Structure 1
Amino acid sequence: MTRFVFVPGAGSDSWFWHLVTPRLEAAGHDVLAVDLPWADERAGLPEYVDVIVEAIRAAEAASSDAPPQSPVLVAQSMGAFPAVMVCERLPVAELVLVAPMIPAPGESAGTWWENTGQGAAMRAFAREEGRDPDAPFDEVEVFLHDLPAALVAEGAEHEGTVPADVPFASVWTAERWPDVPTRVIAGRYDRLFPLDFVRRMSRERLGVEPAVIDTGHMTALVRPDQLAELLLVP
């Protein structure tokens, strides 16, 4: 049995993983999906790390009759920032970053966008798809374009929380990437973090080639079967 710990992206919650969770549980694994206090103006990345670490320790205590194990930490989008910091606090068997903001030591989530050239990559992909690269940001067009209508309606009941400014100002104060096996999973049609952009970031910052799923940014909702399959095959 493997314990998978899911970390959501900015403004999202544990519901984001609700289609992947039963697939992993059916395969005999344990799943812990964490909620983060995105709207709390007093909470930054260190506080998010505390929440994740405490949730993992509580799960370990609840299963004290089982042999201790290091979890597989799976993080979506901005969730990569606190997830990589958790690896400095607890033993982690593997870190899996899905449609991620891949941080660099000494970087904040706020400076990441300009540092990586995300804006230019996003506009280039919009032109490639025949969309207006200078159109105002549209959450539906960027995030929900490939979600089934039923999921869009269900997701409306779990409306995303507008993240506070604090986590974007928090800096990952580390000298290097933690010594943890790391994988990246990218969406072929991700309009926020286009595939070529994620490939470049994965190679430059981690030296790894991302696995690719035919989806946009919301991989766990659009292709839960494929994502579960990738998680189950190291």
Structure 2
Amino acid sequence: MTTFALVPGAGGAAWYWHRVLPLLEQEGHEAVAVDLPGDDPDAGLPEYAGLVVDAVAGRHDVVVVAQSMGGFTAPMVAARRPVSAIVLLNAMVPLPGETAGHWWGAVGSEEVRLAAARAGGYTEEVDLDTYFLHDVDPAVAATGEAHQRPEVDRAFETPCDISAWPEVPTRAVAGADDRFFPVALQRRVARERLGLGLDVVPGGHLAALSHPAELTAYLCKALPPSAAVRDEQPT
């Protein structure tokens, strides 16, 4: 039985995974959604990685699934304990020693986001509805209001403490309609930083909320972890 360690992005709310977790369990797997203290000024990436490691203590077949900023935590988890695979979902892919605060400029994310906004005809100013909730059922989004919290500066300032990307099977997957990290950006970063192709699933930046069934099917299809990484149909 595989244990999926589900790591959220900025803010750290385990709630983000609440629609995927039961679907993975229905498929016969174990799933652990890790709540991270995004609003704790004393907690950074080392603390985040420690919480994930503690959450899956005693499990032997662990797949770390990291959303967005969770991409900085995932390789640090793999550096601390054995994992079977890493899945990067609409994720920031760090270089060794890089900070999340430095990543934006290093990969040119703003230029790609703005170009996509102009091409798509939506606002260039980042707001919650346009960039994160545009494909999420309003009823689902409303239940998340109680779980929202800010991500304080510390996690953006602490480096990704790895010497190299962990030698474990890694897959990069993007939501086809991600407006915050457009597919073109994610494809380039995955290729340049990890030498990987990019898989594409339905949904935007919060694909686990908008298309949980499709994402769950992808995660299950990605097993066994030794399956080859390939570039799926581009959008």
Which SS does the other structure have where 2:161 is aligned? coil
- Which residue of structure 2 aligns with residue 75 of structure 1? 66
C-alpha distance in 2 between matches for 1:204 and 1:126 = 23
Answer whether contact 2:175 2:201 (CA < 8 A) is retained: yes
- Which residue of structure 2 aligns with residue 203 of structure 1? 191
- Which residue of structure 2 aligns with residue 2 of structure 1? 2
TM-score normalized by structure 2?
Answer: 0.91
Answer whether contact 2:122 2:130 (CA < 8 A) is retained: no
TM superposition shift of 1:54? 1.3
Q: Which runs of 5+ in 1 are unaligned?
A: 61-67
Alignment pair present for 1:147 and 2:116: no
C-alpha distance in 2 between matches for 1:17 and 1:205 = 26
C-alpha distance in 1 between matches for 2:193 and 2:208 = 24
- Which residue of structure 2 aligns with residue 25 of structure 1? 25
TM-score normalized by structure 1?
Answer: 0.92
Structure 1 residue runs of 4 or more that deviate by more than 4 Å after TM superposition = none
- Which residue of structure 2 aligns with residue 193 of structure 1? 181
Q: Which amino acid aligns with 2:138?
A: A
- Which residue of structure 2 aligns with residue 86 of structure 1? 77
How many matched pairs?
222
TM superposition shift of 1:205? 0.8
- Alpha-carbon RMSD across the aligned residues, in angstroms, is 1.1
C-alpha distance in 2 between matches for 1:207 and 1:215 = 24
Q: Which amino acid aligns with 2:135?
A: D
- Which residue of structure 2 aligns with residue 64 of structure 1? none
TM superposition shift of 1:217? 0.3
Alignment pair present for 1:216 and 2:204: yes
- Which residue of structure 2 aligns with residue 63 of structure 1? none
Residue 90 (structure 2) aligned to one of 99, 105, 111: 99
C-alpha distance in 2 between matches for 1:37 and 1:155 = 16
Which SS does the other structure have where 1:180 is aligned? coil
Answer whether contact 2:6 2:32 (CA < 8 A) is retained: yes
TM superposition shift of 1:22? 1.1
